[in-house]
Amino acid sequence: MTVIAIDGPAASGKSTVSRHLAQRLGFAYVNSGTMYRAVTWDLLQRGTNTASADIVEAALAGTDVVCGIGENRESFIRINNANPDEALRDSSVNRHVSLVSAVPAVRALISSRLRALAKDCPLVMEGRDIGTAVFPETPYKFYLDASPEIRQQRREAEGGADQIADRDKLDSSRKAAPLKIAPDARVVDTSHLTLDGVVDAILDILRQSGIAPK
């Protein structure tokens, strides 16, 4: 089981870097954030009070969550047989995803699905607690970061309306698997690096461990 963990705050470049890194290595790409967003979307569709951890946990009992790796070598999620992909970046999901992802029962559910994916093929997996909580045993840990100003600019360029500072506070202060840097993670500041620059920096480090592009 080989998992390359890419953690970091919102708009640090995790998704784009991880996807390109996976393509260079011939690994599958897993975006854990889409899974939390999918659960959030489903809860909102059902009118669930996302501010109540107890209500969210109760709602999970009636939620069928299926995750896998598609033919494109990227992760997918289906909630109660529905494909939520088109709605994952909706403003309502942006506003509520940090609340939902802070619920321990939600994190336990998604973490179990993420661990199951690693049984079938090598992965590049990105998120906020991959190297600290989901796969703390992997020796391949990276933490991407950038200045708050640059990350806010990136989020707005993506069309997102959420405030990076608010997301940072919620993600870092939650009791269940808070956003933090794993002690053995390599930190890469993406503020002034190109996409290729970040990917090449990570590949240079991985080559020292015997992992190289195919």
Residue 157's domain is classified under what CATH number? 3.40.50.300
Q: Which tokens belong to 135? A: 């796969």
pLDDT per residue as tens digits for the range 110-132: 999 999 999 989 999 999 999 99
Q: How many domains does the chain have?
A: 1
Specify whether the CB–CB gap between 143 and 187 falls below 8 A: yes
Contacts of 93 (CB under 8 A, 6+ apart): 37, 40, 41, 44, 87
User: Does 212 map to a domain?
Assistant: no
Q: How far apart are CA 174 and CA 182, in angstroms?
A: 16
Give the model's pLDDT for residue 162: 65
Q: How far is CA 67 from CA 17, 31, 110, 113, 192, in A?
A: 22, 11, 9, 7, 34
Domain interval for residue 19: 3-207
User: Does 29 map to a domain?
Assistant: yes
User: Does 213 map to a domain?
Assistant: no
Give the model's pLDDT for residue 167: 76
User: Does 124 map to a domain?
Assistant: yes
Q: Inform me whether the pLDDT recorded for 145 exceeds 70.
A: yes
Q: Give the predicted TM-score (pTM) of the model.
A: 0.89
Give the model's pLDDT for residue 201: 96
Nearest of 10, 5, 6, 3 to residue 154 by alpha carbon: 10
Q: Inform me whether the pLDDT recorded for 142 exceeds 70.
A: yes
